[in-house]
Amino acid sequence: MVRSLRCIAVAFLLLAASAHAQQASRLDDIVKRGTLRVGMTGDYLPFTSLDKATQKYRGFDVDMAEALGKAIGVKVEYVQTAWPQLMKDFEADNFDIAMGGISITLDRQKKGLFSTPVMREGKTPIARCADKGKYETLAEIDKPGTRVIVNPGGTNERFARAHVKNAEIKIYNDNVTIFDEIAKGDADLMMTDASETRYQQKLHPGVLCAVHPDQPFDFAEKAYWIQRDVALKDFVDEWLHIATEDGSFKKIYSAWFE
């Protein structure tokens, strides 16, 4: 009787293991569907920008998304999101992967998986070039009368609220034109990712200057935020590894950051 029960238990475990092995992964679903759904805010150059007239995206992570779709063998479907609702859209399974300058955070890690990091950086100021020397430290920034502008809902706002207690924090909803507010004098500076300060300095030569982008205030990494599917994460990580080794990552990176 005992031996019979053991046999039944073993058979049950084998059946359970077989059923688990046959369960389709999200990667299988993507291949079957023929599309990779990529969540993007479309307001964060050089990573992602949406032309509202044509509804076309462009940017570093747009090129990377297209390369990933090609590697999987599917088309890329862009799903527009926004920083304040990114978490909710992710939890609602509105897309398979979020791309477009996504910073790794522990809150996001609780909800999904992150790929191998694609960039290391941190928060640093960008100000009018004439004022560059005034905002080199957090103590110099956090003074009454200083106007710190920030886009809502993301890591920029979180960083500002954690470190700015005396200066004014100005919330500005349009992440595309926010740097123009600094250029025309309606704000004094913004603290954002070093990569973005370098890019905006390039777009506003002699007007806006990145403040010590090689020595940011904190440590951060950018990666791709993946729905909790190990098969999809493994594929993305291996794709990134190959792209790094064969030079294709460097080619895309150079087009936007150098």
Using one digit for the tens of pLDDT, what is the confidence trace for 138-177? 999 999 999 999 999 889 999 999 999 999 999 999 988 9
Q: Could you state, in order of their start, the residue ranges of all structural domains in the chain?
A: 26-120+220-255, 123-210
Give pLDDT tens digits for 112-140.
Answer: 999 999 999 999 999 999 999 999 999 99
Superfamily of domain 123-210: Periplasmic binding protein-like II (3.40.190.10)
Q: For 42, left (φ over 0), alpha (ψ -120 to 50), or beta?
A: left
Separation of CA 105 from chain center: 10
- pLDDT score for 60: 97
Residue 156: count other Cβ atoms within 10 Å of its Cβ.
23
26-120+220-255 and 123-210, same CATH topology: yes
Distances from the Cα of 63 to the Cαs of 12, 48, 83, 159, in angstroms?
47, 9, 20, 28
- pLDDT score for 13: 47
Task: Please state, in angstroms and rounded to a whole number, the distance separating the CA atoms of residues 212 and 126.
Answer: 9
Please say whether the beta carbons of 59 and 127 come within 8 A: no
Task: Please state, in angstroms and rounded to a whole number, the distance separating the CA atoms of residues 36 and 184.
Answer: 40
Query: Which residues in the chain show pLDDT less than 50?
Result: 2, 5, 7-11, 13-21
Distances from the Cα of 149 to the Cαs of 6, 211, 231, in angstroms?
67, 15, 40
Domain 26-120+220-255 has CATH 3.40.190.10: yes
At residue 248, φ and ψ (nearest 5 deg) are -70, -35
- pLDDT score for 18: 44
Separation of CA 10 from chain center: 46
Please say whether the beta carbons of 189 and 87 come within 8 A: no
